[in-house]
Amino acid sequence: MDTKKKKSILKVILSGRMLTTFLMGFACGLPLLLTITVLQAWMKEEGVDLTVIGLMSLVGIPYTVKFLWAPVLDRFTLPFLGRRRGWLLVAQAALILSIAYMGLSSPKNDPWMLAFAAFLVTFFSASQDIVVDAYRREDLADEELGFGSSLYINGYRLGMLLASGGGLIMADHMSFSMVYLIMAGCMLPGVLTTLLAREPAAAFGVPKTMKEAVIYPLIEYFSRKGALWILAFILLYKIGDTMASAMTTPFYLDLGFSKTEIGAVVKLFGFWATIAGSLIGGVLMLRLGIKRSLWVFGFLQAISTAGFVMLARIGHSVPALSAVIGFENLSGGMGTAAYSAFMASITNKKFTATQYALLSSLMGIPRVLASAPTGYLAKNTGWESFFILCTLLAAPGMLILLKFARWDAKN
């Protein structure tokens, strides 16, 4: 790599836009587990019935249907801070109030009030996700989307870690109500970032009517050559990796690993391997571009899934587990960064919020549907055959790349 190219990459990495992307990712990741892990722990501690705890997961529905109101955020511009930052400030202010509202609720005495508060958190959190995804697409140049997506993902994971790990640790020393009030305050860096960030230019115009905001994004997308192939790719690119991940914990336990070994290697070591993978993947995308990175990282993902086959043969071995987890999470972090960057890159900047919300919702389908039969497959084929199948399932997504992202194609 020549000196000029190195300086250009370093300039992108150290730019204020990347810091903004990271901090916005943190703000998006923070609320997620406050309505899942932390809330479940609080309700269990208060003696709430397990059936009610299970039903509480329904408050997460806004994350899966956020495309329904995304057109409103594309169509209308508030009279302050601009088209993106205006909506972002409103969502973040509402989030702070909603998280505090959860903290002031009582799981035991008024679970429905708590459920309503949690629903508000997920609704405004999903709204924040919509706007931040659109902001990132419009603020970053195409060649910056790869590294920007990796920073966003790592910021998101840091926010999740603070809320779940930090929240549960704090709950051992103070009330859950106080934990939620503190977490509401932790949203303030996100608000400050919104106020100080620049508003991206609406270079491609703004929808003039709701019809244009709702219908035109679909018409524009499906008028493209290879639109259906791209949708198939989004569904299939990580399907093998997703299916393998769905059954890893029972697999580790079957091999005789203790819960402490799983926690230390898989969760802690694996977390930092994923962070490293996202960062390395982001930097490599500045050099390779998004489309070539999808090829490289996709092959690495498939090889890492095959690592579970080797682990099934080796059996209980902490060094082998560490090697498999390190490589799997490293390559998974790379693949997720490229996957997210690709989805951002194919959105039309006039309809960024709507198209990205639709694509990201589609991205979640394999996580639910493909994971459902994994237990049956593992039980009836054995662990080794199951992970061989997961490895082979990487092939369809990779082959679809030949339709729209050949190695010699320009990004």
Where b means 16+ CB within 10 Å and e means fewer, 90-118 reads bbbebbbbbbbbbbebebeeebeebbbbb
Give residue-wise pLDDT tens across range 132-154. Answer: 988 988 888 878 888 888 889 88
Of 214, 247, 267, the position where a domain reaches its end is: 214
Q: Which residue has the higher pLDDT, 192 or 286?
A: 192
Q: Could you tell me the residue range of the domain that residue 362 belongs to?
A: 216-404
274 and 258 co-located in one domain: yes
286 and 382 co-located in one domain: yes
Do the domain assignments include residue 410? Answer: no
Q: Which residue has the higher pLDDT, 107 or 97?
A: 97
273 and 306 co-located in one domain: yes
210 and 225 co-located in one domain: no
168 and 257 co-located in one domain: no
Q: How many domains are there within the chain? A: 2
Do the domain assignments include residue 409? Answer: no
193 and 222 co-located in one domain: no
Per-residue pLDDT band at 24 (split at 50, 70, 90): very high
- What was the pLDDT predicted at 1? 53
Mean pLDDT of 378-402: 89
Of 214, 229, 260, the position where a domain reaches its end is: 214
pTM over 0.95: no
Do the domain assignments include residue 342? Answer: yes
Average pLDDT of every residue of the chain: 85
225 and 180 co-located in one domain: no
- What was the pLDDT predicted at 6? 60
Q: Is a pLDDT exceeding 90 seen at residue 93?
A: yes
364 and 247 co-located in one domain: yes
Q: What is the CATH number of the domain that holds 184?
A: 1.20.1250.20
Q: How many CA atoms lie within 13 A of 222 on its CB side?
A: 6
- What was the pLDDT predicted at 137? 86
Is the dihedral angle over the CA atoms 45, 51, 364, 323 positive or is it negative?
positive
183 and 272 co-located in one domain: no
155 and 304 co-located in one domain: no
Give residue-wise pLDDT tens across range 254-269. Answer: 888 887 888 788 778 8
231 and 209 co-located in one domain: no
Q: Is a pLDDT exceeding 70 seen at residue 409?
A: no
- What was the pLDDT predicted at 55? 75
- Most trustworthy range by pLDDT among 179-188, 222-231, 234-243: 179-188
